[in-house]
Amino acid sequence: MSKTPITVAYGDGIGPEIMQATLRVLEAAGAHIAPEVIEIGEKVYLAGNSSGIGSSAWESLRRTRVFLKAPITTPQGSGYKSLNVSTRKALGLYANLRPCMAYAPFVPTRHPAMDVVIVRENEEDLYAGIEHRQTDEVYQCLKLITRPGCERIVRYAFEYARRQGRKRVTCFVKDNIMKLTDGLFHRVFEEIGAEYPDIARDSMIVDIGAARLADTPERFDVIVMPNLYGDILSDVAAQIAGSVGMAGSANIGDQCAMFEAIHGSAPDIAGQDLANPSGLLNGAIQMLLHIGQAEVAERVHNAWLRTLEEGLHTADIYREGQSHQRLGTQAFADALIARL
């Protein structure tokens, strides 16, 4: 079997160490991948490229169409564009899939039964990047919602639910206030949902939906929503499932896909072998499924679960007095590899 070329970026902050751990696991598991390393993020920004990514990196991405990306740091200042956002847009990655699942009792959580997948629209909304200063005192940002954008993401959510044997898709919007924009999202949700009689559907105003998600996440299955709500509420869901440090995310487009951790580059703990590689690893598992290496994906996932089940954890998950053992980033990867 020939190796699938993938583009890899080590990123900033804790990026390099969790990417190293992740790639070691993938190699040990026998993933048939040929990583091409590109340079993006802080160094590129500071070398004067305000997009954080150069043309040879784009060239690799356009060729491999599969991107495993560690967290990066965007320097402060209005001159720098978020690479996360520009990559999602440039590659047309319209769907951001964020599974948030409890691993109780191995990872402490108040919501042991939760298993929620957040399907976040990934290109529109306030992330369209249209922002301007009207006067010294008045600033505006444009929220953009389009029918094709809504159709793509809503259809993706229902197709995903069907494929995964999930029972219900819930829509979160604020269409009592944003009657046109969020109203459109809601309307398209109803229209397209009607084509999936096998999947139950309902919708909630995002405020009360968020409250219920935080309080009783086990009642949700798949939730689809515009970009910004999805950004905020996937962090909430991942954290109450166990930790934002453990959730991975798939950014899916018609041509390309990008896989990452949902957390950031955590510069405060960088280089100390403290970071949890699980978020990126869960992104990588989604990548393996995407490129048709389901068997390797399952092998990695099972070994990861076994590692957790034996109480082996990085510092963020480790709790004293719970027969946990505390490991560094690379030792955690080693423990996982030993269980492959």
Q: Are residues 148 and 251 in contact, defined by beta-carbon separation less than 8 angstroms?
A: no
CA distance 315 to 324: 10
Question: Phi and psi dihedrals of 270, rounded to 5?
Answer: -65, 145
35 - beta bridge partners? 6
Shortest separation between residue 329's beta carbon and ligand IPM, angstroms: 21
Please give the residue whose beta carbon sits closest to ligand IPM in the complex.
84
Shortest separation between residue 172's beta carbon and ligand IPM, angstroms: 13
Query: Is 316 assigned a catalytic role?
Result: no
Q: Are residues 9 and 72 in contact, defined by beta-carbon separation less than 8 angstroms?
A: yes
Shortest separation between residue 15's beta carbon and ligand IPM, angstroms: 12
Query: Is 207 assigned a catalytic role?
Result: yes
- How many amino acids of this chain bind ligand IPM (CB under 6 A)? 9
Of 221, 235, 273, 316, catalytic? 235
Output 41 or 277, the one with its CB closest to ligand IPM. Answer: 41
CA distance 185 to 95: 14
Provide the token pair at 122. 């990934």
Range 123-182, binding ligand IPM (CB under 6 A): 176-177
Question: Phi and psi dihedrals of 21, rounded to 5?
Answer: -60, -45
CA distance 242 to 125: 28
Query: Is 136 assigned a catalytic role?
Result: no
Q: Among ligand IPM, a second copy, none, what binds residue 184 when CB lies within 5 to 8 Å by partner kind?
A: a second copy
262 is a site residue for ligand IPM (CB under 6 A): yes
Instruction: Round to the nearest angstrom and report the end-to-end CA distance of the chain.
Output: 20
Point out which residues bind a second copy (CB under 8 A): 74, 77-78, 82, 85, 110, 126-127, 129, 131-133, 136-148, 174, 176-181, 183-184, 206-208, 210-212, 214-215, 228-229, 231-236, 238-240, 244, 264
Of 167, 179, 207, 215, catalytic? 207
Which parts of 160-245 are beta strand (E)? 168-173, 200-205, 222-225
Please tell me what DSSP assigns to residue 53.
B
211 is a site residue for ligand IPM (CB under 6 A): no
73 is a site residue for ligand IPM (CB under 6 A): no
Using the rule CB under 6 A, give the single segment among 77-85, 146-154, 266-274, 290-298 that binds ligand IPM.
Answer: 77-85
Question: Phi and psi dihedrals of 298, rounded to 5?
Answer: -65, -40
CA distance 128 to 42: 22
Burial 185-216 (b: 16+ CB within 10 A, else e): bbebbeebbeebeebebebbbbeebbeebeee
Using the rule CB under 6 A, give the single segment among 51-59, 60-68, 79-87, 155-163 that binds ligand IPM.
Answer: 79-87
Shortest separation between residue 157's beta carbon and a second copy, angstroms: 20
Burial of 143 (0-12, 13-18, 19+ CB in 10 A): middle
Output 60 or 181, the one with its CB closest to a second copy. Answer: 181
Q: Are residues 193 and 169 in contact, defined by beta-carbon separation less than 8 angstroms?
A: yes
From candidates 28, 51, 81, 85, binder to ligand IPM by CB under 6 A: 85
Output 146 or 330, the one with its CB closest to a second copy. Answer: 146
Question: Phi and psi dihedrals of 130, rounded to 5?
Answer: -95, 100
Shortest separation between residue 262's beta carbon and a second copy, angstroms: 9
Output 13 or 35, the one with its CB closest to ligand IPM. Answer: 13
Output 178 or 337, the one with its CB closest to ligand IPM. Answer: 178
**So which residues are the catalytic ones?**
127, 174, 207, 231, 235
Q: Which residues bind ligand IPM (CB under 6 A)?
A: 82, 84-85, 176-177, 207, 231, 262, 264
